[in-house]
Structure 1
Amino acid sequence: MDRQQRTQLHATLKTMHTLSSEYGFEIAVQALEEGVQRSRTSFHDAAILAARIAGYGLNMAPERGQDLHVYDEFLEGVQV
């Protein structure tokens, strides 16, 4: 964060404040550390990292979710 420009630092600190109130200080710090390492410190990136840390951790793959290939096949023939 020391290398960030003033506007970017302000946004990062605002993100820290918002995430701290939602997930707690420790998770907010972890999320921002991960984000800085990956050069992804926008609010949305940090919020996703914080949710993953709080939910099931960064080392576990996210749940697979629904298989939507039926819709992909259906929409292949549709012209927009």
Structure 2
Amino acid sequence: MSDHSPDLVFRGACVHTLVPGRLADLTVWDRDPADCPDGALRDLSPTHTFIGGLLVADAGGPSADGEASPAESFGT
């Protein structure tokens, strides 16, 4: 990961470090990837996905508010 990636998407002032008040793109996994053998990494499943600090999907699927998940159009 590049230390300059937030600047490339013009969000350098509000992202880059995981601290209160900053935005986060984050995936939470069902197991700790650091504790998995290499061959088991492909078997990990995401339990939650956050984009811009907002929960956009959980293990049950896209956000439950009835709206399309931002993850579906993210980057398009």
TM over 0.5: no
Which of the two has higher C-alpha Rg?
A: 1
Give TM-score, length-normalised by structure 2.
0.26
Q: As a proportion of its length, which structure holds more helix?
A: 1
Q: As a proportion of its length, which structure holds more strand?
A: 2
Name which structure has the greater RCO, CA cutoff 8 Å, separation 6+: 1
